[in-house]
């Protein structure tokens, strides 16, 4: 009963209460000498700790338990334990270890016909594969896990597969990611699962930054802020970070004050949670056009998640460096973007956009105009209006307002940015348009970034 109560409490977002109940169950199993039940309860405790973002402690607990119960590795309880170890390794940014653990455990889950464990473990392995540079294989493996979960009506795993896939898609195809996350959000709301609700809200909000659905995303985030505040501390951090990003992009007073997020993250060891702060700082750098700040945020995120691709921060570094006419830093950021290994229409459009900017800075205007035309059409085809507007700012800044393509793109961008209420970017666009034509192609400089000294 304690085990069931602990699992139910966690499902309701009460992860600390769930953990306490499972720890009581563990003590009872240990006192009776029941190793099999202790192993099973430890696996569930690890799952609940991971749900509550206590990733480092969960990883330590599960690693110790797999050594202690090595003789039970072919029992369903042991298979469950190893499956949660793989998930902990993935969430703690040890993707290669997660793949290896999953590969060792999947045959046992298959042979014992442990469908719930098998489906969830496929989601874990697929998610980890994406983070080791095998995105197509990874997303296909997640989809296999999701279909298996659907065949067995495993709501939790269906939601987990949908969440991970949409999150992994959010940089490569934001519009598809937004649609998938919205479906997951609707399902999570129907089943009343608060942690999933908050996580899906974050993906919908992030993808909406690109698609230009800002008003709807802000309204949804505001509605979700109060439930997040009543639940897990990390859920609150996620909600606050996304709201801060929108406020920064709209130039609201005080938006760059991240002290509340910093306070909530004091002592935080979960890398997924800690990553929220560098993303917010990169957003400030984008709004203020500070490549030094952007690169600092990107490197902070690299320290936190060294094996997980991060196109967002490095794209901000590249773009702000181009605005500052710092071709060396922009080229370095472009190399980082290529190294992420992500493949998708938005990723390719990003690479084309930055390449066009470097061509403009290098005195190759014909190449720049041609590549910008391709990038702009891609952004429009993908329905990513904010990216389209940012590209227009690039063109006006680097090609100059006298170039017809740049002028036409700027006219469209003005409408987009006005609708979004993106004041800092409207100001930057107008500044670029009003610049004298002779200033459009200055001699490339190493850096004009006032945030770097």
pLDDT digits (tens, 9 = 90+) for 233-282: 777 788 888 899 999 999 999 989 999 899 988 887 788 788 889 999 99
Are 160 and 197 in contact by the 8 Å Cβ rule? The answer is no
User: CA–CA separation, 104 vs 89, rounded Å?
Assistant: 14
User: CA–CA separation, 4 vs 119, rounded Å?
Assistant: 21
Tell me whether residue 204 is in a domain: no
What pLDDT score does 385 carry? 96
Checking if the pLDDT of 449 tops 50, the result is no
* 163-169 CB contacts, 8 Å cutoff, 24+ apart: 163/196, 163/199, 163/200, 163/203, 164/123, 164/126, 164/127, 165/139, 166/200, 166/203, 166/207, 167/199, 167/203, 168/127, 168/130, 168/135, 168/138, 168/139, 168/142, 169/139, 169/344
pLDDT band at 231 (very low <50, low <70, confident <90, very high): low
Tell me whether residue 107 is in a domain: yes
**Domain with 59 in it: what CATH number?**
1.25.40.10
Are 99 and 125 in contact by the 8 Å Cβ rule? The answer is yes
Query: How many residues are recorded in the chain?
Result: 453
Eight-class DSSP state of 439: G
pLDDT digits (tens, 9 = 90+) for 178-228: 999 999 999 998 988 887 888 898 899 999 999 999 999 998 887 766 655
Mean pLDDT of 5-19: 89
pLDDT band at 420 (very low <50, low <70, confident <90, very high): very high
DSSP readout, 135-183?
A: HHHHHHHHHHHHHHHHHTT-HHHHHHHHHHHHHHHTTT-HHHHHHHHHH
Contacts of residue 150, defined as CB under 8 A and 6 or more positions apart, other chains included, come to 158
Tell me whether residue 380 is in a domain: no
Checking if the pLDDT of 342 tops 80, the result is no
CA 411 and chain centroid, separation: 31
Are 408 and 290 in contact by the 8 Å Cβ rule? The answer is no
Tell me whether residue 177 is in a domain: no
Are 285 and 291 in contact by the 8 Å Cβ rule? The answer is yes
User: CA–CA separation, 248 vs 327, rounded Å?
Assistant: 26
What pLDDT score does 66 carry? 95
Tell me whether residue 265 is in a domain: no
User: CA–CA separation, 436 vs 427, rounded Å?
Assistant: 16
* Mean pLDDT (the chain, rounded): 90
Tell me whether residue 349 is in a domain: no
DSSP readout, 261-274?
A: HHHHTTT---HHHH
- List, in sequence order, the alpha helices (H) in 250-344: 259-264, 271-274, 276-288, 291-304, 311-323, 327-339
Checking if the pLDDT of 417 tops 50, the result is yes
* Closest to 332 (Cα-Cα) out of 376, 302, 288: 302
Mean pLDDT of 311-325: 95
Q: For residue 94, what are the domain limits?
A: 1-169
Checking if the pLDDT of 397 tops 60, the result is yes
Tell me whether residue 360 is in a domain: no
pLDDT band at 443 (very low <50, low <70, confident <90, very high): very low
Checking if the pLDDT of 230 tops 70, the result is no
User: CA–CA separation, 360 vs 354, rounded Å?
Assistant: 10
Eight-class DSSP state of 445: B
* Closest to 52 (Cα-Cα) out of 167, 163, 198: 198
Tell me whether residue 425 is in a domain: no
Spell 272-290 as b/e; 16+ CB within 10 A means b.
Answer: bbbbbbbbbbbbbbbbbbb
Checking if the pLDDT of 451 tops 70, the result is no
Question: When comparing pLDDT for 222 and 173, which is higher?
Answer: 173
Backbone φ and ψ for 445, nearest 5 degrees, come out as: -115, 160
Structurally, how many domains does the chain consist of? Answer: 1
**Residue percentage of the chain with pLDDT more than 90:** 70
């Amino acid at each position: 009963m304690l085990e069931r109560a602990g699992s139910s409490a966690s499902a309701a977002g009460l992860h600390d209460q769930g953990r306490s109940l499972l720890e009581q169950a563990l003590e009872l199993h240990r006192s009776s000498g029941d190793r099999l039940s202790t192993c099973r309860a430890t696996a569930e405790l690890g799952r609940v700790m991971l749900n509550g973002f206590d990733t480092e402690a969960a990883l330590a607990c599960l690693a110790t338990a797999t050594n202690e119960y090595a003789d039970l590795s072919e029992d369903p309880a042991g298979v469950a334990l190893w499956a949660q170890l793989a998930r902990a390794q993935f969430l703690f940014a040890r993707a290669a270890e997660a793949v290896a653990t999953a590969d060792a455990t999947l045959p046992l889950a298959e042979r014992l016909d442990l469908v719930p464990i098998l489906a969830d473990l496929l989601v874990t392995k697929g998610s980890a594969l994406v983070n080791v540079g095998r995105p197509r294989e990874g997303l296909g493996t997640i989809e296999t896990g999701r279909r298996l979960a659907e065949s067995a009506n495993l709501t939790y795993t269906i939601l987990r597969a949908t969440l991970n896939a949409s999150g992994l898609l959010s940089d490569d195809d934001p519009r598809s990611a937004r649609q998938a996350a919205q479906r997951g959000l609707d399902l999570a709301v129907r089943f009343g699962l608060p942690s999933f609700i908050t996580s899906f809200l974050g993906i919908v909000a992030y993808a909406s930054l690109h698609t230009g659905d800002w008003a709807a995303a802000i309204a949804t985030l505001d509605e979700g802020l109060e439930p997040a505040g009543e639940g897990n501390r990390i859920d609150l951090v996620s909600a606050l970070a996304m709201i801060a990003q929108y406020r920064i992009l709209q130039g609201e007073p005080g938006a760059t004050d991240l002290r509340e997020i910093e306070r909530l993250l004091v002592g935080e060891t979960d890398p997924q949670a800690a990553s929220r702060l560098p993303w917010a700082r990169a957003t400030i750098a984008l709004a203020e056009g500070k490549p030094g700040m952007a690169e600092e945020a990107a490197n902070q995120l690299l320290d936190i998640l060294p094996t997980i691709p991060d196109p967002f921060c490095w794209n901000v570094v590249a773009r702000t460096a181009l605005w500052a006419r710092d071709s060396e830093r922009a080229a370095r950021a472009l190399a980082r973007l290529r190294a992420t290994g992500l493949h998708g229409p938005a990723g390719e459009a990003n690479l084309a956009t930055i390449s066009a900017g470097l061509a403009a800075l290098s005195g190759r205007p014909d190449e720049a105009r041609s590549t910008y035309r391709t990038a702009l059409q891609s952004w429009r085809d993908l329905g990513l209006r904010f990216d389209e507007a940012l590209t227009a700012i690039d063109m006006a800044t680097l090609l100059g307002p006298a170039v017809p393509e740049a002028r036409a793109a700027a006219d469209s961008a003005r409408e987009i940015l006005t609708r979004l209420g993106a004041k800092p970017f409207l100001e930057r666009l107008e500044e670029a348009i009003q610049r004298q034509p002779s200033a459009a192609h200055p001699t490339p400089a190493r850096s004009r970034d006032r945030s770097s000294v």
